Amino acid sequence: MTNLAAWIDDVFILTVKVPNIAAMIEESNSPVIYWEAMNKYFPVKLGHAIDSTTVRMIFEDELPMGEDLFLNWGKLRVPVYPRAIVRTDWFEQRYSSIDSELGAIYEETATTFSVWAPTAKCVQLCLDHQIYALNREENGIWTSKISGNRHGVPYQYEVTVNGQTTRVNDPYTKALLVNSEKSVIVDLSKTNPASFGKNSRPKQQHLQDAIIYELHVRDATIQKAGGIYNRGRFLGLNETNTATENGYSTGISYIKELGCTHVQLLPINDFARVNEQQSEKDYNWGYDPLYFQVPEGSYATAPENPLSRIKECKEMIHSFHQAGISVILDVVYNHVFVMEESPFEKLVPGYYFRYQPDGKLSNGTGVGNDFATERKMARKFILDTIDFWLSEYCVDGFRFDLMGAMDIETMRKIRARCAEEATPIMLLGEGWDLPTALPPEMKATSSNSNQLKDIRFFNDYFRDSIKGNLFDADDKGYINGDGRFIERLPHLVSGSVSEKFGSPFVSEVNQTINYVECHDNHTLWDRLQLTNAQSSVDQRKKMHQLATGITLLSQGVPFLHAGQEWYRSKQGDENSYISGDHINQLDWNMREAEDENIQFIKKLIAIRKRYRIFRLRSKQDIEERFQVLDAPAPVFGYTLFGDNEDFAIYMNPTNKHWKLHLPSSGKWQVLATNHLAGQTKTEEIAGEFTRIHPYELIVLKRPLNPRDSSLQ
């Protein structure tokens, strides 16, 4: 009868599965739970039957976790294991240990090992082909201090829980053998580049000044045309002065020239699907997380050396910092790759993941599991990991994948930890409302932005209004639909926060991330080929320029997908997460061929960085300084009132010329336009009237006598 089991599902509830309940009741005496180590019995009362083989039982005493318990019922002797009890408030209060330091804490003369496994019967340390017993503390932490210098030595835990004994890596591991085979003890002080540290971070006056550039390590460095030696590696983004054969900058030098303030790296922590010893055969964006505190081995030049990935990741970050570019990590705390194989599930079955009321796994993420960020020890792991990347790798921000599946309190605590840093830390995420087993009022969604100050949200309303609904391949927006949704433009370009123009997307302007393209779904160029197949290539390029231009000139923080500025294509692949280099690589030949458009984007970035009027910091400032202009629809125009100059921005989403009546007479300087190819000098418009060309975006400036110095 190997299918028999008894599960502790609440403080006083046991769920028992037997061959036939009616027969057991008729033939057996009253059941009891027997605690073998203490030779103690717990009386149990029969409850209601769930079906013919499953019954609920009630007991009155709290049962110990991690002990040999058996249900004695007639001739049956059934092992008793914890199940849903681990997801109760009782369990949280009894076993949470949020102040404990977990992992392998290295010292030159000894290493202290600590792992949380309150339901385990036994936990042992496997180290140097020896087995060491760990001591259990009351809160379920198993720990021991092992003498000797153990730097570079692999280790695992052997855990016995729910009748099964398995080997498991440390979820807090800081280093790994190749392909995540084993955890490795590491002296992190041996991994720092010269002058590496928090003081080397770029100085950021205000995060509203940020311009984010989303980048995949391998995409950026893998193509031979980029002139990068360490192709596909962290060190590829450590190389400066790389260029194409014709001398056009690539890699980190190109990103610096473009003018973006932050790179947002797709996940660089250890992930699945790529054989680190033959990485050229596999590809992954990185959203299949395995170990959260270890850099990905396939990005290292020597993945078989546990220190290689750590050193080289730090060198890459340091190189960005030396170039004046801050580093945001894309982090995935909403799920793991395969729940059943994760160290979380092996150490404390049923605790770290969400379940529906009927006992089924929650799958709001769509990848099979939802990490229970709201549980104390799950939240602790996330906070400890954030702290580790801030302290050890000196990163400058975090982008939270599917942040709407995380809980508000965890995000608040992350924000509080980041606020301790001397340099402002960028926090942003996907605030979609996903069907995870978490009450709506607890979700870190954009609709709850008023509870998440200083955390930014990807503005999907902005994205879909500009180019069409993401989930409808035929849908069009403002730039590719002859001005469709023009009524939304005042709201979008003013930061999506003012009630004057529509329902606010977020509470404050410092919470919106404006974008039209990212790693997910079709690139903008590929979408335009679908929605506007009858338009000419030149017309689609102009539409593309409009979209990127609106993104860069709107209030809020702009976000660019790497290669967007040269019409990046993925050959129509809308979900290229494992599609390989031929689809995903940055095409540095296109960077060269489309340099003219890159210069236009660089000019817009420079305008945004030079004039703070394009990056206002409050709703009040925007309402005082932003005004919609009269323009012949579907042309849209607006003005920004600066201290020493006024700006007028116009955009034409049609293939027609339109006459414009400027907001005032005088000499208007043309700061930027996508109409004049290769424009290098400043043009002027005298008088009150001009015209706008098909698909043109134009930025005008009129100097004034100084009003005040509030924007200086």
| pLDDT value of position 682 | 64
According to DSSP, residue 198 is labeled G
Is the pLDDT assigned to residue 618 strictly greater than 90?
yes
pLDDT per residue as tens digits for the range 643-694: 899 999 999 999 999 999 999 988 999 999 999 765 555 689 988 999 999 9
Q: Of the listed 219, 276, 315, 430, which one is catalytic?
A: 430
| pLDDT value of position 18 | 85
Considering only CA atoms, which of 505, 489, 423, 518 is closest in space to residue 209?
A: 423
Is the pLDDT assigned to residue 384 strictly greater than 70?
yes
| pLDDT value of position 1 | 38
pLDDT band at residue 712 under the 50/70/90 scheme: very low
Considering only CA atoms, which of 710, 703, 704 is closest in space to residue 621?
A: 710
Considering only CA atoms, which of 268, 265, 262 is closest in space to residue 321?
A: 262
Is the pLDDT assigned to residue 308 strictly greater than 80?
yes
| pLDDT value of position 696 | 97
pLDDT band at residue 3 under the 50/70/90 scheme: low
The CA-to-CA distance between both ends of the chain, in Å, stands at 79
Considering only CA atoms, which of 456, 401, 395, 169 is closest in space to residue 285?
A: 401
| pLDDT value of position 706 | 58
Considering only CA atoms, which of 442, 399, 403, 444 is closest in space to residue 418?
A: 399
Residue found by looking up tokens 């990212």 in the block: 518
Give this prediction's pTM: 0.96
Query: 3-state SS string over 84-151?
Result: HHHHCHHHHHHHCCCCCCCEEEECCCEEEEEEECCCCCEEEEEECCEEEECEECCCCEEEEEEECCCC
pLDDT band at residue 21 under the 50/70/90 scheme: confident
CA distance 618 to 249: 37
Q: Of the listed 276, 296, 401, 526, which one is catalytic?
A: 401
pLDDT per residue as tens digits for the range 134-187: 999 999 999 999 999 999 999 999 999 999 999 999 999 999 999 999 999 999
Mean pLDDT of 373-392: 98
Q: What percent of the chain has pLDDT above 90? A: 90
Is 401 part of the annotated catalytic residue set?
yes
| Domains of the chain, CATH where assigned | 5-82 (2.60.40.1130), 92-191 (2.60.40.10), 625-703 (2.60.40.1180)
Residue found by looking up tokens 């939270």 in the block: 400
| pLDDT value of position 530 | 97
| pLDDT value of position 74 | 86
198, two tokens: 């928090």
pLDDT band at residue 29 under the 50/70/90 scheme: confident
Mean pLDDT of 541-547: 98
pLDDT per residue as tens digits for the range 205-260: 899 999 999 999 999 999 999 999 999 999 999 999 999 999 999 999 999 999 99
3-state secondary structure of 699: strand
Q: Which residues 6+ apart lie within 8 Å of 373 measured at CB? A: 333, 334, 379, 382, 405, 406, 407, 410
Task: Cis check for the bond before 634: say yes or no (omega within 30 of 0).
Answer: yes
Computed over every residue of the chain, the mean pLDDT equals 95
Backbone phi and psi for residue 17, each to the nearest 5 degrees, phi listed first: -115, 125
Helices (H), 279-394: 306-322, 343-347, 376-392
